[in-house]
Amino acid sequence: DDGSGQEPQDGHSVLDNLGDVEVPEVEIMNEAIQDQITNGLYVKGDAAYNIYYFSQEAVQDYAESMNAAAEAFAGQATLYSLVVPNASGILLSDQEVKDLGGTNQVDAIRYFYSLYSSDVHAVDAVTPLLDHADDYIFYRTDHHWTARGAYYAYLEFCKVKGIEPESLDELRYLNCGDFLGSFYSEVQSDAMAANPDYVETWIPNATNDLTVYDTDGSSFETEVITDTSSWDIITKTTAFIADDQPLEKVVNPRLSDGSSCLVFKDSFGNFFAPWLVDHYQTVYVGDFRYFESNIGDFVREYDVDDLIFCNNVTLAGGGVVGPAILGRL
């Protein structure tokens, strides 16, 4: 262990040997570490971490939803599943996670993926994040990954799909400045305030135009990446696809091949979806908490090629997302 996170992968992927996966163990919190818990968060210096607690039934429900969706859309759309670890699963040591009573997220995500049918294309976000644990891949004052962290997962998606990824050097970089996120709002840490995060972004080459649709049928035009540098310090991550919305659409004027995808996501997907803009003629983004359409009807009506589920491990394994997906097929 390098002391900054889980075991280095040494060329191995969490997708290796999924037939040998065991059910992760449920740990008990060590009493000696309880005084570092504030509002349910583990506070360490100028950073905070939420801990993932494994539920076998909830993970099985999520896997069932992936398998059911893949079967429902066989011959129509290719299904990709991206289960995103939290910062604690990448940046904390195995011993810290165990002392906190948390579940090893590498083991947990391997268990998710071991339950998938062969028609579900699993995307490994864990290995590239472990490999880049020294990069700015998670915020310290917020529960999300950064655009850079999402980029490394996007590179893995490109490998699975068999497409050439965009290079960061070929995109316009934007730094929106200092940011204090959800963890800071919870714990009001002086250390965090003295050393805030920052929001860095990259603007897609093809277009930065985004249409947002509300559940009442209304819509408005905005941007895939918004310059929020002048915004309040706690709202900076609204830079990514206008935050959480029922349905969003990006049309790439550089492509006319009819290609399309639907990203069905929680808020972690906000940081991932912009990386897809240059690869499809149309990118649709639906947030499972607000998207009211039937996924099957939507996929068929809009001739969606790729259905990409992007959820963080806590929500994917929390017993909510799986039933929500199954109820919309």
Say what the pLDDT of residue 1 is. Answer: 41
Contact in structure between 285 and 263 (CB atoms under 8 Å): yes
Q: Report whether pLDDT(9) > 60.
A: no
0.75 cut: is pTM over it? yes
Average pLDDT for 63-72:
97
Give me 323's structure tokens: 């039933």
At 256-265, the pLDDT tens digits run 999 999 999 9
Cα–Cα distance, 314 to 24 (Å, whole number): 15
Instruction: Write down the residue that tokens 């959800």 correspond to.
Output: 182
At 227-251, the pLDDT tens digits run 999 999 999 999 999 999 999 999 9
Say what the pLDDT of residue 275 is. Answer: 98
Closest CA to 316 of 140, 86, 9: 86
Q: What contacts 173, CB < 8 A, 6 or more positions away?
A: 200, 201, 202
Going 292 to 296 to 298 to 304, the CA torsion angle's sign is positive
Q: Quick check: helix, strand or coil at residue 137?
A: coil
Closest CA to 179 of 217, 138, 134: 138
Say what the pLDDT of residue 21 is. Answer: 85
pLDDT band at 53 (very low <50, low <70, confident <90, very high): very high
pLDDT band at 24 (very low <50, low <70, confident <90, very high): confident
Say what the pLDDT of residue 156 is. Answer: 98
Query: For residue 240, what is the DSSP state?
Result: B
Give me 6's structure tokens: 């889980």
How does the average pLDDT of the chain come out, rounded? Answer: 94
Cα–Cα distance, 302 to 89 (Å, whole number): 37
Give me 40's structure tokens: 């349910």
Contact in structure between 299 and 72 (CB atoms under 8 Å): no
Strand 219-223 versus strand 260-265 pairing type: unpaired
Spell out the SS3 assignment of 255-278. Answer: CCCCCEEEEEECCCHHHHHHHHHH
CA Rg, the chain, in Å? 19
| 158: enclosing H helix or E strand | helix 147-161
pLDDT band at 153 (very low <50, low <70, confident <90, very high): very high
Q: Report whether pLDDT(292) > 50.
A: yes
Query: For residue 135, what is the DSSP state?
Result: S
Half-sphere exposure (CA, 13 Å, Cβ side) for 11? 0
Instruction: Write down the residue that tokens 């277009």 correspond to.
Output: 207
| 43: enclosing H helix or E strand | strand 41-44
Q: Report whether pLDDT(45) > 70.
A: yes
Cα–Cα distance, 159 to 161 (Å, whole number): 6
pLDDT band at 4 (very low <50, low <70, confident <90, very high): very low
**Most distant CA pair in the chain: distance in Å?**
60
Cα–Cα distance, 215 to 290 (Å, whole number): 8
Q: Report whether pLDDT(6) > 90.
A: no
Average pLDDT for 216-228:
96
Gap between the terminal Cα atoms of the chain = 42
In this predicted model, which residue has the larger pLDDT, 18 or 69? Answer: 69
